[in-house]
Amino acid sequence: MPSKATTPACAIWTQTGGRLLLDLSGDWLSGGSIPEIRGKTPDQAPTRYSTENLGEFDSTLPAFILAHLRSLEKPMGGDAGEQPKPSLEGLPPNLLGLMELALAVPEESDARAKPAKPSEIRKLGKRSLAVWASILSVAEFTGQSMLALGRFFIGRARFRSQDFWVTLQDCGAAALPIVTLINFLIGSILAFVGNVQLASFGASLYVADLVAIAMVREMGVVMTAIIMSGRTGAAFAAHLGSMNANQEIDALRTFGFNPFDFLVLPRLLALVLMMPILTLYANLVGILGGMLVGAAVGIPPLLYWNETLAALSLTTASLGVIKSFFFGAIIATSGCLQGMRSGNSSAAVGQATTRAVVASITAVIVLDSGFAAIFTVLDI
């Protein structure tokens, strides 16, 4: 039992002349005060101990010294036998004997307390909080983008027109080769598959109806959106992520520029404007691909074209174009969001780019499913 006259325990680390000194003072008793540690705990063993002011002690003091010495030992798998024996110079004889006995016995591998594994409910809670934080982040970013659009329509948004035209060219003319190739092949595949089934009924001409309706309603806009997600959305995320890593976005704020007006708004406007044009182009290319296959299986091109015009109505042809505006906004928002919220390293930029592509494609497919359900309910 500690007496009322006990002195508070204290350990002071000092470095003098390349020698590390640990000054121990006060009474180190289990029922006494919490020991006071002064100085930064080093990553090496003390060269000498100073115990002139040391009072009474029990197992608390050897446990304190041993814990520090054990933390300096090599981890499991290392050769502990090659480690130099720590110096115990300056310790009183009774404490010296205890420390020599303690250090002579190696620490068992399972002696340290292992952190408890989190429960499944805790894991579920963390994931739920992460999902909720992501939803709030998306909502906040979308709201700020809408405010930037509002400032643009009233003439208060500030960004360089040169940036807008460069982004517009990158989203439009520069994307034509890959859009042409993919949609031409999609139209050809639809014609091949449709002809295999319809030819058995002697209705090969209706391949034109199949390709035209499939392209203008679904395949043209969806394939173009997926292409732009992997091409343009990823480019937005990588560009803004690199700017964020280089603290260029912070520099814009410092100079009084709104990053949403200066960086996000030109990209959002450019992609929303170009997606309908690319969708119309993709529909035409896909129909031409189907016409080429139709000519190969014996359908005259003029007859194929007339059947295509008869199968399409203004309402049907406009469905894909209507969806393209929303797809363009989603792709631009996802790419800019991941780029603006990326970390400050090159690895974080790559992760942001990957997340942007995955989020954009997922959002496009989910939104397209919603549009399909709405059009079915409306009997369009």
Segment 199-224, tens digit of pLDDT: 888 888 899 999 999 999 999 999 99
Residue whose C-alpha is closest to residue 25's, from 37, 15, 39, 17? 37
Q: Which of 77-91, 149-163, 172-186, 247-261 has the lowest mean pLDDT?
A: 77-91
The vertex-348 CA angle with 342 and 354, nearest 5°, equals 85
* Cα dihedral sign, 172-173-174-177: positive
Rounded CA-CA distance 29/316 in Å is 86
Q: Which of 115-124, 297-306, 363-372 has the lowest mean pLDDT?
A: 115-124
Q: How confident is the model at residue 245 (pLDDT cuts 50, 70, 90)?
A: confident
Rounded CA-CA distance 94/92 in Å is 6
Q: What is the pTM of this model?
A: 0.66
Q: How many helices (H) and strands (E) does the chain have?
A: 14, 5
Q: Which of 104-113, 231-240, 356-365 has the lowest mean pLDDT?
A: 104-113
Kindly state the tokens that stand for 147: 């405010």
The predicted pLDDT at position 82 comes to: 53
Expressed in angstroms, the distance from the first to the final Cα of the chain is: 88
Q: Are strands 48-50 and 19-28 parallel, antiparallel or unpaired?
A: parallel
Max mean pLDDT among 13-17, 43-47, 217-221, 259-263 falls in 217-221
pLDDT beyond 90 at 277? yes
Alpha helix (H) ranges present in the chain?
A: 60-71, 93-104, 120-153, 161-171, 176-198, 207-214, 220-228, 234-245, 248-254, 259, 265-296, 301-311, 314-340, 346-377
pLDDT beyond 70 at 195? yes
Rounded CA-CA distance 76/126 in Å is 31
Instruction: Tell me the pLDDT tens digit for each residue of 136-166.
Output: 888 888 888 888 888 888 888 778 888 889 9
Q: What average pLDDT is seen over the chain? A: 85
pLDDT beyond 70 at 250? yes
